[in-house]
């Protein structure tokens, strides 16, 4: 699996340091607020596990699964909720945790849906962002790293459901995309 990586973008140490930094900021900002921290599966599962352990103030955690539609599909919304948050969110301070902000379409619509349910506040924490790819402007409150327009894997992020368990983030060798390979 590791032979398929062309270049490591962020090592385990870099990720650990960044997660600690974000966790410390979130701890300060949410002290006494008992935030509801919501991870959008599956890509953010490792980031969520590490980030919440770097937060030193009481909080609740929950998980969502969403599927996004491109423009011009027959569905009414741009986002379909496959698995919802298991509790009411009115009056809560929500922190959405994402792996990567790309076009911004999914997050934009997801944040609208959650805002309509009467949350007291909604903030976004994303480990990665590709600003060049943005189609809809999304405000990021806690950002790990900006990256160029390259497809990255590892630390929860997949290619064809593989590579999520790599402990670092990197880009794949071109042959991996070429079809059958070992």
Interacting residues with ligand 5GP (CB under 6 A):
43, 68, 98-107, 151-153, 157-159
Decide: is 102 part of the binding site for Mg ion (CB under 5 A). no
| Residue closer to Mg ion (CB basis): 33 or 42 | 42
Structure tokens at 79: 């986002």
Q: CB under 8 Å to 165, separation ≥6 — which residues?
A: none
Question: By beta-carbon distance, which residue lies closest to Mg ion?
Answer: 43
Decide: is 154 part of the binding site for Mg ion (CB under 5 A). no
Decide: is 43 part of the binding site for Mg ion (CB under 5 A). yes
Q: Which residue has the tokens 């990665």?
A: 128
| Residue closer to Mg ion (CB basis): 33 or 133 | 133
Active site residue 62: no
Q: What length is written for the chain?
A: 182
Burial (Cβ within 10 Å: 0-12, 13-18, ≥19) of residue 10: buried
Report the nearest approach of ligand 5GP to the CB of residue 43 (Å): 5
What residue 38 binds from ligand 5GP, Mg ion, none (CB within 5 to 8 A, per partner kind)?
A: none
Selected catalytic residue, list 50, 93, 99, 102? 102
Q: Which of 97, 118, 120, 109 is nearest to 51 (CA)?
A: 97
| Residue closer to ligand 5GP (CB basis): 45 or 159 | 159
Structure tokens at 51: 């980030």
- How do beta strands 79-83 and 93-101 pair? unpaired
Which residues are known to be catalytic?
102
**Which residues lie near Mg ion (CB under 5 A)?**
40, 43, 98-99, 158
């Amino acid at each position: 699996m590791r032979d398929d990586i062309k270049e490591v973008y962020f090592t385990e140490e870099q990720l650990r340091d960044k997660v600690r930094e974000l966790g410390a900021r979130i701890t300060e900002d949410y002290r006494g607020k008992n935030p509801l921290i919501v991870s959008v599966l599956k890509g953010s599962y490792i980031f969520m596990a590490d980030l919440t352990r770097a937060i030193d103030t009481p909080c609740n955690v929950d998980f969502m699964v969403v599927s996004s539609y491109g423009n011009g599909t027959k569905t009414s919304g741009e986002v379909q909720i496959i698995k919802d948050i298991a509790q009411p969110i009115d009056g809560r301070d929500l922190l959405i945790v994402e792996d990567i902000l790309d076009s911004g379409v999914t997050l934009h619509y997801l944040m609208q849906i959650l805002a309509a349910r009467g949350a007291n506040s909604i903030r976004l924490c994303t480990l990665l962002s590709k600003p060049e790819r943005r189609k809809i402007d999304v405000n990021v409150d806690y950002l790990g790293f900006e990256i160029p327009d390259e497809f990255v894997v590892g630390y929860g992020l997949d290619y064809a459901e593989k590579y999520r368990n790599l402990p670092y983030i990197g880009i794949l060798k071109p042959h991996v995309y070429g079809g059958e390979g070992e």
